[in-house]
Chains A and B, each alone.
Chain A
Amino acid sequence: IQMTQSPSSLSASVGDRVTITCQASQDISKYLNWYQQKPGKAPKLLIYDASKLEVGVPSRFSGSGSGTDFTFTISSLQPEDIATYYCQQHDNLPPYTFGQGTKLEIK
């Protein structure tokens, strides 16, 4: 299964609503996770099973979608959200395929 994220990079202003999409090459039901990786740090799990918020993750982060098309949204961008975001499918294992990443920058 191939995972295609878009855009590959994104520049937005503090307070903006930010949306990243992830498309699977075949139906993966709801089995999609989203991770945040800040420079020089390990990834952090934000969303699992497409729309479930990991414990401790701020509610401005959300996810939606099923089948082949998924969306990750930050409702109001904060300076600390600057990072690269990755989707990951876990329907057809192995492998646990990651998307290529979306680098988010502040405008």
Chain B
Amino acid sequence: EVQLVESGGGLVQPGGSLRLSCAVSGFTFSSYEMNWVRQAPGKGLEWVSYISSIGSTIFYADSVKGRFTIARDNAKNSLYLQMNSLRVEDTAVYYCAREVVYDAFDLWGQGTMVTVSS
């Protein structure tokens, strides 16, 4: 089955760290660019980060630059998001999303909730 499954979310204090994972199955992970997108409670979608198929090109939203790090392990069919110096405003559901050649996100995971609160 073609799917993305996120994990690693949870409750963390401001200033803390979390590492999200996205396990991929059912397709050739190494052929696809990948993204993280988040959605704060009751709010819209916000793109967070992009990584190319071999990890050579990486982009971040200004809101997370310098605090978040995206990475991938094509041998393990996994995508990661290391989140440091977390802020209350980082509270959101985080989705991993596959990007296809026409620069659209055609496959999404179910999301993992990150709550930053003291």
Asked whether A43 lies within 8 Å of B110 as measured between CB atoms, the reply is: no
Within the complex, the shortest CB–CB distance from A42 to chain B, in Å, comes to 4
**Inside 8 A of B103's CB, which chain A residues have their CB?**
31, 33, 48, 90, 93, 96
Asked whether B47 lies within 8 Å of A98 as measured between CB atoms, the reply is: yes
Identify A94's interface contact among B60, B95, B108, B110, CB under 8 A.
Answer: B60
Interface size for A (C-beta < 8 A) is 25
**Inside 8 A of A35's CB, which chain B residues have their CB?**
45, 105
Asked whether B59 lies within 8 Å of A95 as measured between CB atoms, the reply is: yes
Asked whether B45 lies within 8 Å of A45 as measured between CB atoms, the reply is: no
Say if the beta carbon of A49 comes within 8 Å of chain B.
Answer: yes
Using a CB–CB distance below 8 Å, which chain B residues touch chain A?
Answer: 35, 37, 44-47, 50, 59-62, 95, 102-106, 108-111
Using a CB–CB distance below 8 Å, which chain A residues touch chain B?
Answer: 31, 33, 35, 37, 42-45, 48-49, 52, 54, 84, 86, 88, 90, 93-101
29 contacts between A and B (CB under 8 A): A35-B45, A35-B105, A42-B95, A42-B110, A42-B111, A43-B95, A43-B105, A44-B108, A49-B102, A49-B104, A52-B102, A54-B104, A88-B45, A93-B50, A93-B59, A94-B47, A94-B50, A94-B59, A94-B61, A95-B59, A95-B62, A96-B35, A96-B47, A96-B50, A96-B103, A97-B47, A98-B45, A99-B44, A100-B44
